[in-house]
Amino acid sequence: MDDRQRRNRAVSAARDFDASTGEFLEHEFDTYALLREQLPIARIPSRTSLAAEGGDGAWLVTRYDDASGLLSNTAGFSSQTSNYPVRPWIPQAIDPPDHTSYRRIMNKWFTADAMSGLEPHLRSFAEELLDEMIAEDAFDFVADFADPFPTVIFCELVGFPVEDHRQLMEWKNILMHAADGHSRGRELAAARARELGLEVGDDGSLAADVQAQVSGSVALALYEYFGKLLEERRGQRRDDLISHLIDARYDDERPLTQEELLDTLFLFFMAGLDTVASVLGLVVKGFAEDPAKRREFIELMDDPQRLTLAIEELVRYHSIVLLPRRVTEDLDFEDVCLRANDQVVCPTQACNRDPEQFENPDELRYDRVPNRHMGFGHGPHRCLGIHLARRELRIGLELLHRKLPDYRLHASREPEVFGGMKGVSVLWLEKA
Amino acid sequence: MRVKIDPEKCQGHGMCTLMCPEVFEPDDEGYGHVVPALETVPAELEESVRLAEAQCPEQAIHIIDGGDGA
């Protein structure tokens, strides 16, 4: 392909950009490489309601250096990006200095030390799930392990009753996976729309306004659910984050308002229920497809430092998030004219495979040094749960492969992947 | 070799404390700090300090006089 053809291909890739389609996922990394080379800040279709507020542009940023500069510049690029079902969630959609005050409250609950204390429990719970899973010759790794493991742990930590975890997962699937290739999310969203008397397409698809109403109704149900839990904990504290939040002091001065408490719990819910499950699913799917890489992982996992580096490399290689920001005022960014309220999106999938930053970026290299990946985000909004996520990934992957070093994709049941916030919703494996 | 963490850049990813827990310790909020007595890095820890510098996603770790043997 000559330069002009590559340029034309890049222009149409940007024009048609939609990370949530199966078609896109098939060529995801080639497309990002083409854009990074030809159009590193590419105009893409705007799908946010920001258009109504004056900004009509959306841009995709695929170079590591551009994204890291932008994500560190919170004055120029706000985290409050679009309409939220109720209010912007805390702290993810809040900018400094308020963001800093919220994070000061929360950081200390999620430190490495605090999460190390959970390790024995993480191990025993992972063992229990894995033993049950591998009692069968064929199993869905996502349903039996990748979903329940981090979800139940997170419910316990925050104080959501563990017996509610399936209900919480269903609400999460409606909010996040109504139209991204996740068949369970799509079914649940369609069912909810029917309950609300809204129109559902013959194929189960929802029009954008119907989907917004469905999301709104689930968000309200969640806020009601959180409100009830807050009331219970006000009556009697427990050792959980809901209780800690009630007793927290903003800037050491005032308690959080009811609205702040609800918006924080909503963010915990959105951020805690999907991410580790997605990475576990992608990693194990990759291992099922590439036994040599799996064996290489099994050989190194007895060495703690090599295992630590390997987990970081797996997070880089299987990056799941697209990080959105809103331009706060007209500015020139790397020779592109951005207008106030334009949306910019940094796909970590693209930035973490920038050859300027990572040598042979498409190669999974367990001892990669340097490895300054942004799989856990970059700048002040760095993933709050990073130390929990690392431990869950390390413990889950280590124990799985001790118990079951050999497995393969099921001969007849296909995996199901979803896009946007990327992940795996169905992953049937069988013992090899 | 001497080592410093730029507090303006550190976002508390915690890679340095994983790579070289002897030299880097987290504060109550998880941000990295150099153990004061080890700002001049003992020779046997230089390699892991370099590793920490190479893995820091925010490039917050600065090695001074970092030339071999300097």
pLDDT tens figures, A88-105: 999 999 999 999 999 999
- The answer to ipTM > 0.90 is yes
CA–CA dist B47, A333 (Å, integer): 38
For the cut 80, the answer to whether the pLDDT of residue B70 exceeds it is no
Mutual orientation of helices A208-235 and A258-272 as an angle, nearest 10°? Answer: 120
Q: How much is the CA Rg of chain B, to the nearest whole Å? A: 11
Spatial CB neighbours of A61, under 8 Å, sequence gap ≥ 6 = A40, A41, A67, A70, A344, A345, A346, A351
Residue A272 binned pLDDT confidence (cut-offs 50, 70, 90)? confident
**Residue A46's pLDDT is what?**
82
Q: Contact A387/B15, CB-based, under 8 Å?
A: no
Cβ distance B14 to A112 less than 8 Å, yes or no, reads yes
Q: Predicted confidence band at A260 (pLDDT cuts at 50, 70, 90)?
A: very high
User: A359 with A313: CB under 8 angstroms?
Assistant: no
What digits encode the pLDDT tens for the residues A360-384?
Answer: 999 999 999 999 999 999 999 999 9
User: What are the DSSP calls for chain B, one per residue?
Assistant: -EEEE-TTT-----HHHHH-TTTEEE-TTS-EEE-GGGSB--GGGHHHHHHHHHH-TT--EEEES-STT-
How far apart are the CA of B40 and the nearest CA of chain A, in angstroms? 22
Distance CA B26, CA A374 (A): 20
On the question of pLDDT at A286 being above 90, the answer is yes
Q: Cβ contacts of residue A127 below 8 Å, gap of 6+?
A: A399
* pTM score: 0.96
**Dist CA A362 CA A354 (whole Å):** 9
- Interchain CB contact of B58 with A (< 8 Å): yes
Q: Which residues of A touch B11 (CB under 8 A)?
A: 378-380, 382
* CA–CA separation, A240 and A95 (whole Å): 26
Q: What is the pLDDT of residue A50?
A: 41
B40 touches chain A (CB under 8 A): no
Say which amino acid occupies A53.
Answer: E
Contact at CB, B55 and A374, closer than 8 angstroms: no
- What is the structure's pLDDT at B3? 97
Looking at chain A, the whole-number percentage of residues with pLDDT higher than 90 is: 91
CA dist A260 and A241 (Å) reads 14
Residue of B10, B58, B59, B61 to mutate for A, most A C-beta atoms under 10 A: B58
User: Residue range A276-280: average pLDDT?
Assistant: 97
* Residue in A111, A373, A386 to test binding to B, most B beta-carbons within 10 Å: A111
* Dist CA A135 CA A147 (whole Å): 18
Question: What is the predicted pLDDT for the residue at A49?
Answer: 45
Give chain B's mean pLDDT: 93
The per-residue pLDDT for range A194-247, each reduced to its tens digit, is 999 999 999 889 998 999 999 999 999 999 999 999 999 999 999 999 999 999
